């Protein structure tokens, strides 16, 4: 889904496999979002996640996983503003 305020602001996506809480093997979380650099800090991602969560609930998943790097303070704030809590920390293997 696109974030839009009269012009493109970013996108948010919901990833799941129908009938299970398991993620597709290529995904680190159920939700992914990105805001264009010149629109960051205006609450677009927070609002987009807020609007997406009811759709996710309709799928009756036991939980919604949203991941970010610990150093990504802005993304952590988006998650926390929508009721998210840290469940675990993981480290992406070096390629």
16-28 pLDDT tens trace: 888 787 888 888 8
What is the pLDDT, as a whole number, of residue 12? 96
> Is 49 within a domain?
yes
Burial class of residue 45, CB neighbours in 10 A (0-12, 13-18, 19+)? buried
What is the pLDDT, as a whole number, of residue 24? 80
Number of domains comprising the chain? 1
> Is 95 within a domain?
no
Render pLDDT for 41-78 as a digit per residue (tens, 0 to 9). 999 999 999 999 998 888 888 788 888 888 889 999 99
> Is 61 within a domain?
yes
What is the pLDDT, as a whole number, of residue 5? 96
Burial class of residue 62, CB neighbours in 10 A (0-12, 13-18, 19+)? exposed
> Is 73 within a domain?
yes
- The token duo for 78 is 């988006």
> Is 71 within a domain?
yes
């Amino acid at each position: 889904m696109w974030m839009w305020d009269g012009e493109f602001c970013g996108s948010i996506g919901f990833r799941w496999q129908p009938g299970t809480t398991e993620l597709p093997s290529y995904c680190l979380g159920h939700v992914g979002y990105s805001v264009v650099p010149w629109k960051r800090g205006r609450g677009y991602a927070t609002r987009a996640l807020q609007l997406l969560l009811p759709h996710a609930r309709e799928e009756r998943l036991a939980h919604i996983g949203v991941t970010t790097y610990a150093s990504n303070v802005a993304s952590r704030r988006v998650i926390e503003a929508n009721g998210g809590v840290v469940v675990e920390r993981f480290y992406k293997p070096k390629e």
